[in-house]
Amino acid sequence: MIKGVIIEKLKEMNDERGSVKRMLRCDAPYFERFGEIYFSTVNPGFIKGWKKHLKQTQHFAVPVGVLQLVIYDDRADSSTKGEVQEIRIGEGNYQLVRIPPNVWYSFKAKSTGPAMIANCTDMPHNPKESVQLEISDPSIPYSWD
């Protein structure tokens, strides 16, 4: 597991009327502050990323569909520098994944329909505090092929 990444199984309540899926509580030990919540979708077979936030912490949950999330640690001072972590999240494995600043991440929809990501960040979006790489960038030791 990459240093600073937290994975927590989330609670789902289902019955004949529908479902409730919890995501994040203010009293969770890893919750620091609220910045923004947004939802994004990834169409089946498509890949988004590589992205790295320099200051912002991400809290991902996938309430609809299935996502293959890949995290790469290139932080010079990290005990997990050079490690890659793959996490499958979404329907059938509903979890919250906390992604700390300064690690790369990318994801691909693995479901037959779109995967929806709910992301609760610890600060409002600021495009100047993140950087991106092409999916095939050789500096990240992972291939989506």
> Tell me, what's the pLDDT at 145?
81
CA 93 from chain centre, in angstroms, equals: 14
Measured from the Cβ of residue 145, the count of other Cβ atoms closer than 10 Å reads 4
Tell me if 109 sits within 8 A of 65, measured CB to CB: yes
Query: How many Å apart are CA 120 and CA 96, to the nearest integer?
Result: 10
Give the rounded percent of residues in the chain with a pLDDT score beyond 90: 99
Which residues, at least 6 apart from 114, have a Cβ–Cβ distance to it below 8 Å? Answer: 41, 42, 43, 44, 64, 65
| Domain at 6-10+23-132, CATH class | mainly beta
Indicate the domain borders of the chain: 6-10+23-132
> Tell me, what's the pLDDT at 37?
97
Residue 43's pLDDT band, with cuts at 50, 70 and 90, is: very high
The pTM is what? 0.94
* 89-115 average pLDDT score: 97
